[in-house]
Amino acid sequence: MVKRGLISQLTCISHADEHHDMIDQQPAPNIANVMYHAVRTWPGCRVHWLVEQPIDSPCMWLDDETWERFSRRFSLGPRIPDEWPEPDLISVCTSPEFVREQIRRPLMRLMTFFS
């Protein structure tokens, strides 16, 4: 979308998923590392992993040097940090049955607001 001029460089992504998608540093983007590539591609881009109970952390999967560079631009939890900008992009990568109803409804309203 950036290459086609549909959106500008990303500064903040809200990533709603059971996984943080920074699972590896493979050169080609894939379903498991798409957020890694976003942070790598746009040096000012922040990623907030919108999750209530994280299953792990990218620090387990990325090498120490990479995590040191990325960790200041990565957050997780049920809310984006107040000092962060409004997301340029909301990434929803989960199946509805994995999202509790009380989270699913506000998320769907938010997606409708941004579409």
Q: pTM of the entire structure?
A: 0.78
Which residue type is seen at 86? Answer: E
**Tokens of residue 22, six digits:** 């920074």
User: Which one-letter DSSP state was computed for residue 25?
Assistant: -
Nearest to 36 by CA among 48, 49, 23: 23
Cβ-based burial of 89 (10 A; exposed 0-12, middle 13-18, buried ≥19): middle
With beta carbons less than 8 A apart as the criterion, state whether 79 and 52 touch.
no
Written as tens digits, the pLDDT of the chain (115 aa) is 777 777 778 899 999 888 899 999 999 999 899 999 999 989 999 999 999 899 999 999 999 999 999 999 999 999 999 999 999 888 888 676 777 788 777 877 776 665 5
Helix (H, G, I), strand (E, B) or coil at 40: helix
**Tokens of residue 31, six digits:** 């379903």
Report the DSSP pairing between strands 89-93 and 12-17. Answer: parallel
